[in-house]
């Protein structure tokens, strides 16, 4: 039987929003890195795109509850929008779709798997959501095949690196400091999992 602690408590929501606001600021600053790389060509900027999905994974891997990934991405996108994102309101739509796609991966694993492979799958799913949005907005539909392939490779690799691997290890670092214990009660199962690492 599921006990009531499975649901999001106010502290979970607040912690998620704090994480999201922090990443909302990172997202805004990341825009300059993204634009700085654009002139290089070969879709170097797309390699940086994965950073925009990191909030969902970091929040989920810290709090480990349903709805957190979606909430974090929407909150981070809202923060980015309020801080004056060059993309305006579309940033919110992207946030919803990317968060939803990440959330679906955690749901598929019944919110019980916290391995790096799950972080990578979630990053890939969020990336897929962003690509679908790009097609919907007509951003990439006119790219020729080789160029689109390069674009996809760069964006998916960057997503795996930033939103997958970096998010996973960032949470591991936070776990080592003990800060995650403030929001996640340690159980004997948690300790058993740590021993396997």
pLDDT of res. 194:
57
pLDDT of res. 188:
52
pLDDT by residue (tens digit) across 109-151? 999 999 999 999 999 999 999 999 999 998 888 889 999 999 9
Q: Is the pTM of this model over 0.85?
A: yes
Instruction: For residues 148 and 151, give the distance between their C-alpha atoms in angstroms, rounded to a whole number.
Output: 5
124-to-6, 77, 99 alpha-carbon distances in Å: 26, 18, 12
- CA count, 13 A, side-chain hemisphere, 31: 16
Q: How confident is the model at residue 32 (pLDDT cuts 50, 70, 90)?
A: confident
The whole-angstrom distance between residue 33's C-alpha and the CA centroid of its chain comes to 18
Instruction: For residues 17 and 71, give the distance between their C-alpha atoms in angstroms, rounded to a whole number.
Output: 8
190-to-96, 118, 168 alpha-carbon distances in Å: 30, 17, 16
């Amino acid at each position: 039987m599921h006990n009531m602690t499975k649901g999001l408590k106010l502290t979970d929501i607040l912690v998620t929003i704090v994480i999201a606001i922090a990443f909302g600021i990172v997202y805004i600053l990341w825009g300059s890195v993204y634009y700085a790389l654009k002139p290089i060509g070969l879709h170097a900027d797309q390699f940086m795109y994965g950073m925009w999905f990191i909030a969902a994974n970091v929040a989920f891997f810290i709090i480990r509850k349903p709805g957190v990934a979606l909430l974090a991405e929407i909150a981070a996108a809202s923060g980015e929008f309020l801080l004056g994102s060059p993309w305006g309101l579309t940033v919110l739509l992207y946030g919803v779709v990317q968060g939803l796609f990440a959330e679906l991966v955690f749901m598929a694993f019944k919110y019980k798997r916290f391995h790096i492979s799950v972080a990578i799958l979630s990053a890939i799913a969020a990336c897929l959501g962003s690509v679908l949005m790009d097609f919907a907005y007509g951003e990439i539909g006119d790219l020729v095949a080789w160029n689109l392939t390069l674009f996809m490779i760069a964006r998916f690799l960057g997503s795996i690196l930033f939103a997958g691997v970096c998010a996973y290890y960032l949470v591991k670092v936070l776990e080592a400091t003990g800060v995650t214990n403030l929001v996640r009660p340690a159980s004997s199962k948690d300790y058993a999992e740590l021993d396997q690492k």
